[in-house]
Amino acid sequence: MKIETMLRDIWQSLLRKPVTELYPFQRQPAPERLRGKLTWNPENCTGCCLCVKDCPCDAIELITIDRANKRFVMRYDVGRCTYCAQCVQNCRFNCLGMSNDDWELAATNKAQFTVYYGSEEDVQSILEQRPEAGDQSDE
Ligand code: SF4
Ligand code: SF4
């Protein structure tokens, strides 16, 4: 490359606005169909465990507290999930989804990758039975 061409490129680059964003200080809204953290709405859950069987990564577990009264707790391992959405597509009761605004999931502590969904009381009873599970829970 000729020196004049190089100097012209450098000069033009200095005058141009950067195309990169100052993340995390500047953020663009996430695309509507982005597959972020798994969400679970227990209202219609029957405890069929189809989602658990379909997960190729062993990232979800459905813990039955009281089947007759439809009390379940879902354990979700963010670190194992590949965000394939297979569980979401296969739940016949539309209990599962993938959030497009909860996707910044990096953590320095592995325990933070395990989250428990369910009522506070049920999650608490599971955590007491599994002290190694730590204190990560989402309602
Ligand atoms: S597939 Fe749906 S209804 Fe069945 S256990 Fe999973 S979330 Fe519940
Ligand atoms: S999105 Fe895929 S990997 Fe993640 S929990 Fe569902 S089935 Fe498993």
CATH number of residue 65's parent domain: 3.30.70.3270
Ligand 1, atom 6: closest residue by C-alpha: 51
Q: Is 126 exposed, middle or buried (0-12, 13-18, 19+ CB in 10 A)?
A: middle
The structural domain count of the chain equals 1
Closest CA to 36 of 76, 91, 90, 94: 76
E strand or H helix that includes residue 62: strand 60-66
Note the pTM of the prediction, 2 decimals: 0.83
Q: Is residue 117 part of a domain?
A: yes
Give me the average pLDDT of each 10-residue run along the chain (139 residues).
91 90 89 96 95 97 95 96 97 96 91 93 91 59
DSSP H helical ranges for 24-104: 50-54, 86-90
Q: In ligand 1, which atom is closest to the CA atom of 92?
A: 2
Q: Is residue 22 part of a domain?
A: no
**How many whole angstroms from 105 Cα to the centroid of ligand 1?**
23
The parent domain of residue 129 ranges over 30-133
Ligand nearest to the CA of 50: 1
Q: Is residue 102 part of a domain?
A: yes
